Amino acid sequence: MSFANDVRNELTRIMPERKCCRKAELSALLLTSAQIHCQEGGQYDLEVVVEKAATARKIFKMLKEQNLQPAVRMEKRKRFNKTRVYIVTAPLKEKQEFATLEGLNIIDRNIKIKPAVNQELIATSCCKKAFLRGVFLNRGFINRPEGEYHLELVINDARLAADLQKILLRFKIPARLGERKNNQFLYVKESEKIADFLRVVGASNALLEFENVRIIKSMRNDVNRQVNCETANLAKTIDAAVRQTNLIKLLLEQEGWEGIPSQYVQLVQLRIDFPDSSLAELGKLMEPPLSKSGAAYRMRKLEAYAEAKLQTRLKAGFK
């Protein structure tokens, strides 16, 4: 089972305690998956098509609470790469049944689902959270935290997408707007903001799993960076040691020990005896000991002296 399905399954088990929050979540569920059909004789039916049985059960309960008479059935139908969908239907015969949907502010003058957020339904913070939870149940996707961080809400209307973007910003979750196959979608790539979203919609178990994986990935990345840094430093140390050893040996071949100034003799001997050691290690072996910076300073002076001597002999040889 995918991580997105785990999140959805957890969210379907959340039934808001407050009636206003249940209405806000139902509004989101209907806005993102419902249609109104006109039957023979002028009768209207509300039809909600979802992919998950648990989501269908939740919608059924919420419609029942709104004094509608819903029914659920399963059909084999091609939808979003799925071969099975769950359909919740409710007849709209009486004025009070229409009034229920009008109270959610999701029906336009043509008796169709109006893709707009009812701001009165999401006036409080808890109702905004419930609304986002309903949107994710029908239109949300979240990648497994072991892979790339990615959360998206696929919306089929630009106005609704813009409204959702504003709601997310109220929780300091900036979502970018994109378009795919004529559908608008909001997406979030930052791991911290995805964690904030899971916290907002109430997916506690998914949030715990997400954070655990995020911590492990962070530690692994820190270790890899440290190893890479140490490897690079070791390579630099070895390259420098090889260059210094070769230069010193060449100087000894040309000048002998008599050509080495007294202040560099000890350092020359240590570099020859310990060709793989760092300058910090060589500094500790000297009498008296030198710090890393002190040993590095003396080695730079020795290299400059050796290069100058060898350059002088080279010029003399050409003459």
Segment holding 34, helix H or strand E: strand 34-38
CB 109 within 8 A of CB 2: no
CB 15 within 8 A of CB 60: no
pLDDT digits (tens, 9 = 90+) for 18-52: 999 999 999 999 988 888 888 776 788 889 999 88
For the chain, what is the domain count? Answer: 2
pLDDT digits (tens, 9 = 90+) for 9-25: 999 999 999 999 999 99
Q: Could you tell me the two tokens for 317?
A: 């040889």
| Whole-number pLDDT of residue 199 | 95
Sign of CA dihedral 192, 194, 198, 201: positive
Q: What is the pTM of this model?
A: 0.71
CA distance 104 to 115: 12
CA distance 253 to 186: 71
Are 194 and 291 in the same domain?
Answer: no
pLDDT digits (tens, 9 = 90+) for 205-230: 999 999 998 888 888 878 888 888 88
Are 33 and 144 in the same domain?
Answer: yes
Other Cβ atoms closer than 10 A to 177: 14
Are 146 and 13 in the same domain?
Answer: yes
In a domain, 226, yes or no: no
Are 311 and 260 in the same domain?
Answer: yes
* pLDDT at 278 exceeding the cut of 50: yes
Are 16 and 144 in the same domain?
Answer: yes
Instruction: Indicate the residue among 202, 220, 254 that finishes a domain.
Output: 202
In a domain, 227, yes or no: no
CA distance 122 to 99: 19
Top-confidence residue, 313 or 25: 25
Which domain does 245 fall in, by range? 232-318
In a domain, 216, yes or no: no
Question: Is cis: bond before 70, omega within 30 of 0?
Answer: no
Span 98-122, mean pLDDT? Answer: 77
CATH code of 89's domain: 3.10.28.10
CB 134 within 8 A of CB 177: no
pLDDT digits (tens, 9 = 90+) for 68-81: 888 999 888 765 56
| Whole-number pLDDT of residue 150 | 94
Span 196-202, mean pLDDT? Answer: 95
CA distance 70 to 168: 31
Are 10 and 140 in the same domain?
Answer: yes
Top-confidence residue, 133 or 45: 133
Are 11 and 158 in the same domain?
Answer: yes
Confidence of residue 82 (pLDDT cuts 50, 70, 90): low
Span 92-115, mean pLDDT? Answer: 74
Mean pLDDT of the chain: 86
Are 17 and 66 in the same domain?
Answer: yes
Are 198 and 240 in the same domain?
Answer: no
